């Protein structure tokens, strides 16, 4: 859940050494870290390899940073006796340097807004509605984002209602089919469920792609399901 993820992220930024293991490559956002030894008493790391792609251009190879020792202090990584190598696209080292110490800011490339950004699947209906309204009122709204939010908003309402409609269909279906033909009833129910799922996913695709209005894309399967229920009754 969102609270767990936020708490875990906070712990990792405050004590990144928790997730760093000796002789194992560790993913630190856009960086990769490797260390040969970690002192369990003070979390001091020895023989560190850090590699990342520089933000000032398009590079095929990452910048390699070597440090004799280093230590995490909340959101920064302090390195000592540092050597770095930057490779050009011609496979050759075109820049290198040495420093007595270097400070690496772990959150420099992770703005606060991006760190707190939630996946749509983790938001409740009210939160999706708020994000949708907020995006629509922007001077230059992102139409693609609006479509995605609208599709998820209507989908969250349509799915629970679909289960109710399927229940309504099941009643007349059970009455019309004889007791000895339960397998037929089960088969028809399965076909209806699969058909609804296919229509729902197709509507989701068409709605997000702008080929259908989001509300129509998400509610059309329910409309067809309602029509089937009326016909059976």
Cα distance between residue 89 and residue 226, in whole Å:
60
Domain ranges of the chain: 2-114, 118-232
Question: What pLDDT does 193 receive?
Answer: 83
Considering only CA atoms, which of 191, 200, 94 is closest in space to residue 157?
200
- Taken as a whole, the chain contains a residue count of 233
Beta bridge partners of 65: 50, 84
Question: What pLDDT does 179 receive?
Answer: 57
Distances (CA, A) of 96 to 31, 46, 58, 105: 18, 21, 18, 20
* Paired sense of beta strands 45-52 and 63-73, if any: antiparallel
Specify the CATH number for 2-114; select among 2.60.450, 3.30.2310, 2.40.50, 2.60.40: 2.60.450
Question: What pLDDT does 106 receive?
Answer: 74
Question: What pLDDT does 223 receive?
Answer: 92
Rg (alpha carbons) of the chain, rounded to whole number: 28
Considering only CA atoms, which of 84, 24, 99, 18 is closest in space to residue 51?
84
Are 52 and 25 in contact by the 8 Å Cβ rule? The answer is: no
Contacts of 223 (CB under 8 A, 6+ apart): none
Beta bridge partners of 67: 48, 82
Cα distance between residue 84 and residue 31, in whole Å:
14
Question: What pLDDT does 207 receive?
Answer: 92
Where the chain has pLDDT below 70, the residues are 1-19, 54-59, 74, 107-122, 174, 176-185, 233
Whether this prediction's pTM lies above 0.95 is answered by no
């Amino acid at each position: 859940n969102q609270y767990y993820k936020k708490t875990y992220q906070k712990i990792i930024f405050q004590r990144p050494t928790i997730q760093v293991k000796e002789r194992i490559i560790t993913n630190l956002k856009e960086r990769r870290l490797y260390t040969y030894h970690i002192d369990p008493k003070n979390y001091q790391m020895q023989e560190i390899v850090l590699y990342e792609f520089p933000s000032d251009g398009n590079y095929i190879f990452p910048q390699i940073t070597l440090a004799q020792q280093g230590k995490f202090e909340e959101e920064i990584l302090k390195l000592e006796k540092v050597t770095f190598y930057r490779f050009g696209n011609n496979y050759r080292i075109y820049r290198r340097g040495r420093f007595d110490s270097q400070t690496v800011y772990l959150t420099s490339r992770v703005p606060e807004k991006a760190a707190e950004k939630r996946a749509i699947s983790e938001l409740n209906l009210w939160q999706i509605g708020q994000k949708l309204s907020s995006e629509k009122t922007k001077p230059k709204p992102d139409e693609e984002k609006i479509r995605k939010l609208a599709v998820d908003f209507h989908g969250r309402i349509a799915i629970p209602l679909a289960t109710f409609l399927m229940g309504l269909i099941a009643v007349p279906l059970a009455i019309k089919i004889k007791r000895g033909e339960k397998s037929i009833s089960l088969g028809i129910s399965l076909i209806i469920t699969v058909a609804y799922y296919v229509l729902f996913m197709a509507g989701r695709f068409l709605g997000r792609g702008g080929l259908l209005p989001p509300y129509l894309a998400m509610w059309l399967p329910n409309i067809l399901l309602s029509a089937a229920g009326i016909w059976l009754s």
